[in-house]
Amino acid sequence: MKAKPLLNIKSLKEQVYEFLRDAMRRGEILPGSVIDMEETSVRLGVSKTPLRDALLQLEMEDFVTILPRRKVVVNVLRPEDIKNYYEIIGALESTALLQSFDLLGEADLENMGRLNVEMKEAIERDNFDLYYERNLAFHDVFLSRCGNENLLKIINNLKRRLYDFPRQQGFVKEWEQTSIGEHAAFLGLIKSGEKDEAAAHIRDVHWSFALQEKYVLKYYLRASEVLKG
């Protein structure tokens, strides 16, 4: 008979955090809404301590703002936030590439090429979730090689803030197709050994808010219309 674990692998705070983040991703907790700590504590059957700790983590990640008298407001994603996040992600991903460039092997490049093809196939099947997952995986190939876990945490959190709050269904297909083309150009630069050019491409093209703004505005306009019902 298998012994029952003495400890839960995840702390109560982590479980509450994941519950709230999943509710945000699914659109059950919407930007601009208020989280009632008393009601949420009762609903989850937990004390206010793990709930407060989870909310503090969400505040550090810019998902919520904790106000006096136990009022917690879910932050709205503003255009200036999007612009700032693009600049930060672009700078960090280009830095990560410079650190990982010489560690990328043939298998890594083949994997990136395959993932880019799968992104194209996902668009053709109108499968946004698959496109989204393959897009993250494409970037993760070179990001995972940089050896800087703190940098990766910042990037991943900002991406969740941009695209997973809540995750929208549906495409701005011109944007997705443009992104696939940018991936192909980026991969070509890496294969040619053009390290600095590849880093500049990911920063100044792929994550350039000025270049991507027309697509960003279309995407978030659609997101706003969905949220309004």
Q: Which one-letter DSSP state was computed for residue 133?
A: H
Q: Which of 81-85, 194-198, 221-225 has the lowest mean pLDDT?
A: 221-225
Residue 75 confidence (pLDDT) above 70: yes
Neighbours of 134 (CB within 10 A): 20
Contact 97, 198 (CB under 8 A): yes
Note whether 107 and 194 are same-domain residues.
yes
Boundary residue ending a domain (47, 74, 101)? 74
The edge-to-edge listing of strands for the beta sheet with 64-67 is: 34-36, 71-74, 64-67
Boundary residue ending a domain (31, 56, 74)? 74
Q: What is the domain range of residue 61?
A: 12-74
Residue 222 included in any domain: yes
Residue 103 confidence (pLDDT) above 60: yes
Structural domains counted in the chain: 2
Mean pLDDT, rounded, of the chain: 89
The β-bridge partners of 36 are 71
- Give the pLDDT confidence score for residue 69 in this predicted structure: 78
- Output the domain CATH number for residue 63: 1.10.10.10
Closest to 132 (Cα-Cα) out of 101, 94, 172: 172
Note whether 95 and 205 are same-domain residues.
yes
Closest to 225 (Cα-Cα) out of 169, 175, 164, 178: 169
Residue 174 included in any domain: yes
- Read off φ and ψ for residue 36, nearest 5 degrees: -85, 115
Could you give the CA distance from residue 180 to residue 115 in angstroms, rounded to a whole number? 10
Could you give the CA distance from residue 115 to residue 63 in angstroms, rounded to a whole number? 30
Residue 208 confidence (pLDDT) above 60: yes
- Output the domain CATH number for residue 86: 1.20.120.530
Note whether 58 and 91 are same-domain residues.
no
Q: Which residues contact 223 (CB under 8 A, 6 or more apart)?
A: 168
Residue 108 confidence (pLDDT) above 60: yes
Model confidence pLDDT, tens digit, residues 127-158: 988 999 999 999 999 999 999 999 999 999 99
Note whether 70 and 90 are same-domain residues.
no
Q: Which of 76-85, 90-99, 219-228 has the lowest mean pLDDT?
A: 219-228
Residue 3 included in any domain: no
Boundary residue ending a domain (74, 92, 116)? 74
Closest to 132 (Cα-Cα) out of 8, 219, 56: 219
Residue 4 included in any domain: no
Note whether 98 and 199 are same-domain residues.
yes
Note whether 36 and 123 are same-domain residues.
no
Q: Which residues contact 20 (CB under 8 A, 6 or more apart)?
A: 29, 35, 54, 55, 58
Q: What is the mean pLDDT of residues 214-224?
A: 76
Residue 1 confidence (pLDDT) above 60: no
Model confidence pLDDT, tens digit, residues 12-69: 999 999 999 999 988 899 899 999 999 999 999 999 899 999 999 999 999 999 998 7
If one compares 166 and 174, the residue with the highest pLDDT of the two is: 174
Contact 64, 58 (CB under 8 A): yes
The C-alpha angle 126, 83, 170, rounded to 5 degrees, equals: 15
Note whether 126 and 188 are same-domain residues.
yes
- Read off φ and ψ for residue 67, nearest 5 degrees: -110, 170
- Give the pLDDT confidence score for residue 129 in this predicted structure: 86
Residue 165 confidence (pLDDT) above 90: no
Residue 226 confidence (pLDDT) above 60: no
Residue 179 included in any domain: yes
Note whether 143 and 106 are same-domain residues.
yes
Residue 50 included in any domain: yes
Residue 121 confidence (pLDDT) above 70: yes
